[in-house]
Amino acid sequence: MAKKNVLIIGAGGVAQVVAHKVAQQAAEFGDLHIANRTQSKADAIIDSLRLKGHDMPFISHQLDAMDSEAVEELLRKLNIGIVINVGSAFINMTVLDGCIAAGSAYIDTAIHEDPAKVCETPPWYANYEWKRRDDAAEAGVTAILGAGFDPGVVNAYARLAEDEYFDKIDEIDIVDINAGSHGRWFATNFDPEINFREFTGTVYSWQGGEWKSNKMFEVGREWDLPVVGKRKAYLSGHDEVHSLSARYKDADVRFWMGFGDHYINVFTVLQNLGLLSEQPVKTAEGQEVVPLKVVKAVLPDPASLAPDYEGKTCIGDLVKGTRDGKPGEVFIYNVADHKDAFNEVGSQGISYTAGVPPVAAAVLIARGVWDVKKMVNVEDLPARPFLELLGDLGLPTRVIDATGDHPI
């Protein structure tokens, strides 16, 4: 069987990591392609691959990924087997439609968003991606949704707890702590537009078998985690809550994001002034402007943070459940290092943790292990092959359970 050709869509910080990891795993794949609205950004990634000594043919393309027919056409022309979509969150549906039409497998790392809406009715996946479940199954197209770190690896952590620890799961608390420092006065770790959109709407959590609503920064809790120590994290809205709550209906599913006081202060000022709005305002001169896009324009490019980024991230799932009627808990986690990430692939740790997992997913599709010919979220797939491969690719999983703190 011929090896599958891969197309990466997008050319930001995460795409940079994906490209480097695909290049490292080139033996698993056929031809390697990267497409972006601005082709020169794709070329810059290819240049960075050359600098690391990769010399396989990696070809760039210009693509308007909001045009599903253009996507389909490119996929057919290049005979693409696997698409790794790490472009803007606004292009998921058109890329997905292109994949279903062309018969290419689809992987993304974040949920679809409508640029004009913030925080829609839960579960979010039901508003967009899951509406294509039947189409994907009919076409026999593998579509793996949310296969970054969070969502993605943390979904697999929950599945690992299900497979190896508990016969009933009661609580899944996902905790994301970035204890690194970029040295700037303020910056977001990924696209500011997406970063802030995560926090401007209602915070949905799944508790007691129903959706609960809170405001951002309303519910905070101190966590004491491996390596990064005591850190304050806040109940936040996040993609994975909207799929894990479907598989683990009887469990409470919550997402906690760590924030320092400085971040919260800047966010609060921008939010209260209305500068995080995705709705256009009109200046005194009559120009229509979306405030959030201006905030994005003045903030540092997240990709530019990488060279100076220091410190570590810790992201994990605290899962509580019972086995044979006996209650227990397990913390499954990864620690990543910003400097190590930069030295390996020229990106900071946040991009690294988001960009490595979809490549692992692509390898598993290429090998047939995860080539399920339908649409799934990561927790719907066996977790161990994914987590073991991630260990090989630079994101090892550790567990704190009754026996102590050890690798899986």
Q: Beta strand pairing status for 252-258 and 168-178?
A: parallel
Both tokens of 398, joined, read: 């550790």
Question: The dihedral of CA 241, 243, 244, 249: what is its sign?
Answer: positive
With tokens 């929950």, the residue in question is 158
30 binds a copy of itself (CB under 8 A): no
The one-letter code for the residue type at 33 is H
Q: Which C-beta is closer to a copy of itself: that of 82 or that of 292?
A: 292
Q: Which C-beta is closer to a copy of itself: that of 253 or that of 270?
A: 270
91 binds a copy of itself (CB under 8 A): no
Q: Which C-beta is closer to a copy of itself: that of 167 or that of 301?
A: 301
Size, binding site for a copy of itself by CB under 8 A: 28
Q: Which residue(s) pair with 234 in the sheet?
A: 220, 257
59 binds a copy of itself (CB under 8 A): no
Rounded to a whole number of angstroms, the minimum distance from the CB of residue 277 to a copy of itself is 7
What is d(CA 341, CA 211) in angstroms, rounded to the nearest whole number? 37
Q: Which C-beta is closer to a copy of itself: that of 121 or that of 279?
A: 279
What is d(CA 289, CA 1) in angstroms, rounded to the nearest whole number? 52
The one-letter code for the residue type at 127 is N
27 binds a copy of itself (CB under 8 A): no
Answer for which of 220, 260, 274, 307 binds a copy of itself (CB under 8 A) is 274
Contact 59/31 with Cβ under 8 angstroms? yes
Residue 39, burial from CB neighbour count under 10 angstroms (0-12, 13-18, 19+): middle
Q: Which stretch binds a copy of itself (CB under 8 A): 121-129, 251-259, 269-277, 332-340?
A: 269-277
Rounded to a whole number of angstroms, the minimum distance from the CB of residue 273 to a copy of itself is 6
56 binds a copy of itself (CB under 8 A): no
Rounded to a whole number of angstroms, the minimum distance from the CB of residue 83 to a copy of itself is 22
Q: Which C-beta is closer to a copy of itself: that of 56 or that of 289?
A: 289
What is d(CA 369, CA 391) in angstroms, rounded to the nearest whole number? 17
Chain CA centroid to CA 96, Å? 16
The one-letter code for the residue type at 254 is R
Contact 373/140 with Cβ under 8 angstroms? yes
Binding mask 166-195 for a copy of itself (x = CB under 8 A): -------------------xx------x--
Among 224, 251, 221, CA closest to 236? 221
Rounded to a whole number of angstroms, the minimum distance from the CB of residue 339 to a copy of itself is 26
Whether cis (ω within 30° of 0) applies to the bond prior to 151 is yes
Rounded to a whole number of angstroms, the minimum distance from the CB of residue 187 to a copy of itself is 10
Residues 193-222 that bind a copy of itself (CB under 8 A): 193
Q: Which C-beta is closer to a copy of itself: that of 65 or that of 366?
A: 65
Answer for which of 56, 59, 116, 269 binds a copy of itself (CB under 8 A) is 269
261 binds a copy of itself (CB under 8 A): no
Contact 298/282 with Cβ under 8 angstroms? no
Q: Which residue(s) pair with 17 in the sheet?
A: none
Specify the DSSP element, H or E, that contains 334.
strand 326-337
Rounded to a whole number of angstroms, the minimum distance from the CB of residue 254 to a copy of itself is 29
Q: Which C-beta is closer to a copy of itself: that of 35 or that of 356?
A: 35
Residues 275-334 that bind a copy of itself (CB under 8 A): 275, 277, 281-285, 287, 289-291, 293-299
Chain positions contacting a copy of itself, by CB under 8 A: 185-186, 193, 265-266, 269-270, 272-275, 277, 281-285, 287, 289-291, 293-299
